[in-house]
Structure 1
């Protein structure tokens, strides 16, 4: 049994410089406008039998703006960043440079007291591997960029440190086909 899952990266909630760990802000005006513009091209994905989204505000708003009416999946939440939640990378680097270096260099470390990168990737992979195994089922999930990266790392069995080498732009899509432990990746574009 195989199925197809298209991941849609949530729209923008802030500029790259304004991003914060565990940020749950809604779509900003640019993000909302971009989602509305992308909706006609992505609307065919709304025909999927199952439509999911991360619990973040921007993922839910993106799913609604695209006409998906997605169901929130708590397992698709972004990485738990512990005490760094709500802070910018620049702020954390200024106050805890050694801890940031450890976090970036060792996928099993969690100096922030939250989830390690390895644990995050495995959590997302566990969700992926437990999707319904109906033959040719079609699903769509709107998720935060980090969740999309984690799913890609798991699906292609890439080492966790490769996570940092993948850039997921708002509203970009990627499709995974297959079944538990046997995934194929198709890049759809932005």
Structure 2
């Protein structure tokens, strides 16, 4: 029995504000505009048998804006970054350079007082493995790019350090197929318009 789980990356906020750890900012006007431009291509995913989203405000708003009416899943929340929550990587590095270096080098490190990278990956992977098993079931999940990266590392059984080499763009889709413990990455075709938007 195989499931098809398509992750949709939440729309971004203004790039001027920078990417922040465990970010709970709402979707801004730039993000809403992105959702409106992508809606015609992503709307067909609303036909999925099950529709989920992370509890992050941008993920919920993206799912609602695309017409998915998704069910919030706490297991799809971003990594708990402890005292670094709301900081950019550069800001954390400026405050605690040695601590950040230790965290980047060791996936089991919880130096910020939150969740280790390995715990984060296993939590997201645990969610993936516990989806209802019905052959051909289609699932869509709107989540922050970090959550999708964690899901891919888990699904591919890749070393945790692979997380840092994955680039998940806002409103991109990533699909895995399979069942608990046996997942494959499925590369979907994209339209020329989508391809141009991500160049």
- Does TM, normalized by the shorter one, top 0.5? yes
SS of the residue aligned with 2:187?
strand
Partner residue of 1:157?
A: 157
- The correspondence of residues 110-121 of structure 1 with structure 2, limited to 5 A, is 110-121=110-121
Cα distance in structure 1, aligned partners of 2:3 and 2:169:
24
Which runs of 5 or more residues in structure 2 are unaligned? 195-199
Show CA shifts across 1:132-157 (max 9, x none): 00111010000000000000000001
Show CA shifts across 1:85-118 (max 9, x none): 0122221111100010011111111110100001
2:38 is the alignment partner of 1:38: yes
Q: Contact 1:173 / 1:187 at 8 angstroms: preserved in 2? A: no
SS of the residue aligned with 1:178?
strand
Cα distance in structure 2, aligned partners of 1:107 and 1:86:
20
TM-score (norm 2): 0.92
How many residues in Structure 1 have an aligned counterpart in Structure 2?
190
TM-score (norm 1): 0.97
2:107 is the alignment partner of 1:107: yes
Partner residue of 1:122?
A: 122
Partner residue of 2:175?
A: 175
Deviation, 1:17, is 5.6
SS of the residue aligned with 1:107?
coil
Cα distance in structure 1, aligned partners of 2:187 and 2:28:
26
2:51 is the alignment partner of 1:28: no
Partner residue of 1:69?
A: 69
CA RMSD of the aligned region, Å? Answer: 1.1
